[in-house]
Amino acid sequence: MALQAITWMSAFLCLAQVCSMPMPCHLQGELVRTTHNLLRDMGGHLHLECLQENVFMTFPAAAFATSGTPQLSSSGAKAIYDTLKNIDSLFGADDLPTKWDQQKLENFQNIIYRQIEESKCMMGSVDTSDYPIRAEGLKTYFGKIAAVLKEKNFSYCAWEVVRKELLYTLQFILKHNSDSLLWSNRT
Protein backbone atom coordinates (compact mmCIF):
# COMPACT_ATOMS: atom_id res chain seq x y z
CA MET A 1 0.00 0.00 0.00
CA ALA A 2 2.84 2.40 0.88
CA LEU A 3 4.61 1.54 -2.38
CA GLN A 4 1.45 2.35 -4.34
CA ALA A 5 1.10 5.69 -2.53
CA ILE A 6 4.72 6.56 -3.30
CA THR A 7 4.21 5.62 -6.95
CA TRP A 8 1.10 7.83 -7.24
CA MET A 9 2.84 10.69 -5.44
CA SER A 10 5.85 10.41 -7.77
CA ALA A 11 3.60 10.42 -10.83
CA PHE A 12 1.73 13.44 -9.48
CA LEU A 13 4.98 15.35 -8.83
CA CYS A 14 6.28 14.57 -12.32
CA LEU A 15 3.02 15.74 -13.86
CA ALA A 16 3.06 18.91 -11.74
CA GLN A 17 6.63 19.60 -12.90
CA VAL A 18 5.72 19.18 -16.57
CA CYS A 19 2.59 21.34 -16.25
CA SER A 20 4.50 24.11 -14.50
CA MET A 21 7.13 24.37 -17.23
CA PRO A 22 6.92 27.65 -19.14
CA MET A 23 5.10 27.62 -22.45
CA PRO A 24 7.26 28.11 -25.52
CA CYS A 25 7.30 31.77 -26.40
CA HIS A 26 8.21 31.95 -30.05
CA LEU A 27 6.93 31.61 -33.59
CA GLN A 28 7.66 28.13 -34.88
CA GLY A 29 8.80 27.79 -38.46
CA GLU A 30 7.48 24.23 -38.71
CA LEU A 31 4.00 25.41 -37.71
CA VAL A 32 4.08 28.25 -40.25
CA ARG A 33 5.07 25.72 -42.92
CA THR A 34 2.29 23.34 -41.80
CA THR A 35 -0.18 26.23 -41.89
CA HIS A 36 0.91 27.05 -45.44
CA ASN A 37 0.60 23.43 -46.56
CA LEU A 38 -2.85 22.98 -45.03
CA LEU A 39 -4.07 26.19 -46.67
CA ARG A 40 -2.62 25.04 -50.00
CA ASP A 41 -4.15 21.57 -49.78
CA MET A 42 -7.59 22.41 -48.40
CA GLY A 43 -8.87 23.85 -51.66
CA GLY A 44 -6.74 22.65 -54.54
CA HIS A 45 -6.02 24.86 -57.54
CA LEU A 46 -7.73 28.18 -58.23
CA HIS A 47 -10.67 27.21 -60.42
CA LEU A 48 -11.10 28.76 -63.87
CA GLU A 49 -14.48 30.13 -62.83
CA CYS A 50 -12.73 32.18 -60.15
CA LEU A 51 -10.07 33.77 -62.35
CA GLN A 52 -12.38 36.68 -63.20
CA GLU A 53 -12.75 37.33 -59.45
CA ASN A 54 -9.00 37.65 -59.00
CA VAL A 55 -8.08 41.05 -57.56
CA PHE A 56 -4.63 42.62 -57.44
CA MET A 57 -3.55 43.41 -53.89
CA THR A 58 -0.29 45.15 -53.11
CA PHE A 59 1.60 42.88 -50.76
CA PRO A 60 3.24 44.78 -47.85
CA ALA A 61 6.70 43.19 -48.12
CA ALA A 62 8.21 46.11 -46.16
CA ALA A 63 6.19 45.07 -43.09
CA PHE A 64 8.27 41.88 -42.91
CA ALA A 65 11.65 43.41 -43.81
CA THR A 66 14.50 42.16 -41.68
CA SER A 67 18.23 42.53 -41.89
CA GLY A 68 19.26 40.07 -39.21
CA THR A 69 19.57 42.66 -36.46
CA PRO A 70 17.64 41.82 -33.29
CA GLN A 71 15.45 44.93 -33.49
CA LEU A 72 14.38 44.26 -37.07
CA SER A 73 14.03 40.56 -36.37
CA SER A 74 11.69 41.29 -33.45
CA SER A 75 9.69 43.69 -35.61
CA GLY A 76 9.52 40.93 -38.22
CA ALA A 77 8.21 38.59 -35.52
CA LYS A 78 5.58 41.20 -34.59
CA ALA A 79 4.54 41.46 -38.25
CA ILE A 80 4.22 37.66 -38.47
CA TYR A 81 2.24 37.58 -35.22
CA ASP A 82 -0.11 40.31 -36.49
CA THR A 83 -0.47 38.46 -39.80
CA LEU A 84 -1.52 35.29 -37.96
CA LYS A 85 -4.03 37.29 -35.91
CA ASN A 86 -5.48 38.78 -39.11
CA ILE A 87 -5.70 35.35 -40.73
CA ASP A 88 -7.42 34.01 -37.61
CA SER A 89 -9.89 36.89 -37.80
CA LEU A 90 -10.66 36.25 -41.48
CA PHE A 91 -11.19 32.54 -40.88
CA GLY A 92 -13.44 33.20 -37.91
CA ALA A 93 -16.27 33.87 -40.36
CA ASP A 94 -19.27 31.56 -40.37
CA ASP A 95 -19.48 31.38 -44.14
CA LEU A 96 -16.30 29.53 -45.05
CA PRO A 97 -16.45 27.45 -48.24
CA THR A 98 -17.95 24.00 -47.81
CA LYS A 99 -16.07 22.84 -50.93
CA TRP A 100 -12.81 22.95 -48.98
CA ASP A 101 -11.53 19.91 -47.13
CA GLN A 102 -13.17 20.54 -43.76
CA GLN A 103 -10.65 18.51 -41.74
CA LYS A 104 -7.73 20.46 -43.23
CA LEU A 105 -9.61 23.70 -42.65
CA GLU A 106 -10.16 22.82 -38.99
CA ASN A 107 -6.50 21.81 -38.56
CA PHE A 108 -5.45 25.07 -40.23
CA GLN A 109 -7.61 27.13 -37.85
CA ASN A 110 -6.32 25.20 -34.81
CA ILE A 111 -2.67 25.69 -35.78
CA ILE A 112 -3.17 29.40 -36.45
CA TYR A 113 -4.76 29.74 -33.00
CA ARG A 114 -1.96 27.72 -31.39
CA GLN A 115 0.72 29.90 -32.98
CA ILE A 116 -1.00 33.06 -31.75
CA GLU A 117 -1.35 31.72 -28.20
CA GLU A 118 2.22 30.37 -28.02
CA SER A 119 3.80 33.58 -29.28
CA LYS A 120 1.54 36.07 -27.49
CA CYS A 121 3.89 36.25 -24.49
CA MET A 122 6.84 37.47 -26.56
CA MET A 123 4.96 40.43 -27.98
CA GLY A 124 5.41 42.43 -24.77
CA SER A 125 9.20 42.22 -25.06
CA VAL A 126 9.42 43.11 -28.75
CA ASP A 127 11.03 46.44 -29.63
CA THR A 128 8.50 47.91 -32.01
CA SER A 129 9.84 51.45 -32.39
CA ASP A 130 9.77 51.10 -36.18
CA TYR A 131 6.60 49.04 -36.21
CA PRO A 132 3.84 51.67 -36.72
CA ILE A 133 4.84 52.06 -40.38
CA ARG A 134 4.90 48.29 -40.83
CA ALA A 135 1.57 47.90 -39.05
CA GLU A 136 -0.10 50.39 -41.39
CA GLY A 137 0.91 48.30 -44.41
CA LEU A 138 -0.49 45.15 -42.83
CA LYS A 139 -3.69 46.93 -41.81
CA THR A 140 -4.24 48.18 -45.36
CA TYR A 141 -3.47 44.76 -46.87
CA PHE A 142 -5.80 42.79 -44.61
CA GLY A 143 -8.44 45.51 -44.87
CA LYS A 144 -8.42 45.05 -48.64
CA ILE A 145 -8.67 41.26 -48.25
CA ALA A 146 -11.66 41.63 -45.92
CA ALA A 147 -13.25 44.13 -48.30
CA VAL A 148 -12.93 41.69 -51.23
CA LEU A 149 -14.69 39.01 -49.20
CA LYS A 150 -17.48 41.36 -48.20
CA GLU A 151 -17.84 42.89 -51.68
CA LYS A 152 -18.15 39.41 -53.20
CA ASN A 153 -20.59 38.28 -50.48
CA PHE A 154 -18.14 35.72 -49.10
CA SER A 155 -18.52 33.65 -52.27
CA TYR A 156 -16.47 30.55 -52.92
CA CYS A 157 -14.41 32.39 -55.55
CA ALA A 158 -13.75 35.30 -53.19
CA TRP A 159 -12.45 32.83 -50.61
CA GLU A 160 -10.27 31.20 -53.28
CA VAL A 161 -8.75 34.60 -54.11
CA VAL A 162 -8.12 35.18 -50.39
CA ARG A 163 -6.61 31.71 -50.03
CA LYS A 164 -4.25 32.45 -52.94
CA GLU A 165 -3.20 35.76 -51.34
CA LEU A 166 -2.61 34.16 -47.95
CA LEU A 167 -0.58 31.36 -49.53
CA TYR A 168 1.67 34.01 -51.03
CA THR A 169 1.92 35.78 -47.67
CA LEU A 170 2.87 32.61 -45.77
CA GLN A 171 5.34 31.61 -48.48
CA PHE A 172 6.95 35.06 -48.28
CA ILE A 173 7.26 34.73 -44.49
CA LEU A 174 8.86 31.30 -44.82
CA LYS A 175 11.30 32.48 -47.47
CA HIS A 176 12.30 35.89 -46.09
CA ASN A 177 11.82 35.75 -42.33
CA SER A 178 13.67 32.70 -41.09
CA ASP A 179 15.45 34.89 -38.50
CA SER A 180 12.07 35.67 -36.89
CA LEU A 181 11.02 32.00 -36.71
CA LEU A 182 12.33 29.22 -34.49
CA TRP A 183 13.25 26.05 -36.35
CA SER A 184 13.74 23.06 -34.09
CA ASN A 185 15.71 21.07 -36.65
CA ARG A 186 18.39 23.64 -37.45
CA THR A 187 21.85 22.29 -38.18
Q: In this predicted structure, what is the pLDDT of residue 25? A: 59
Q: For residues 130 and 71, is the Cβ–Cβ distance under 8 A?
A: yes
Q: How far is CA 130 from CA 33, 133, 186, in A?
A: 27, 7, 29
Residues composing the chain:
187
Quick one: average pLDDT of 181-187? 53
Would you say residue 187 has pLDDT above 70? no
Q: Which residue has the higher pLDDT, 161 or 119?
A: 161
Write the CATH number of the domain with boundaries 26-180. 1.20.1250.10
Q: How far is CA 178 from CA 78, 132, 146, 172, in A?
A: 13, 22, 27, 10
Question: Minimal CA–CA distance to 86: which of 14, 170, 4?
Answer: 170
- Within 8 A by CB and 6+ apart from 57, the residues are 141, 144, 145, 148, 165
Q: Which residue has the higher pLDDT, 12 or 80?
A: 80
Q: How far is CA 7 from CA 11, 25, 32, 185, in A?
A: 6, 33, 40, 35
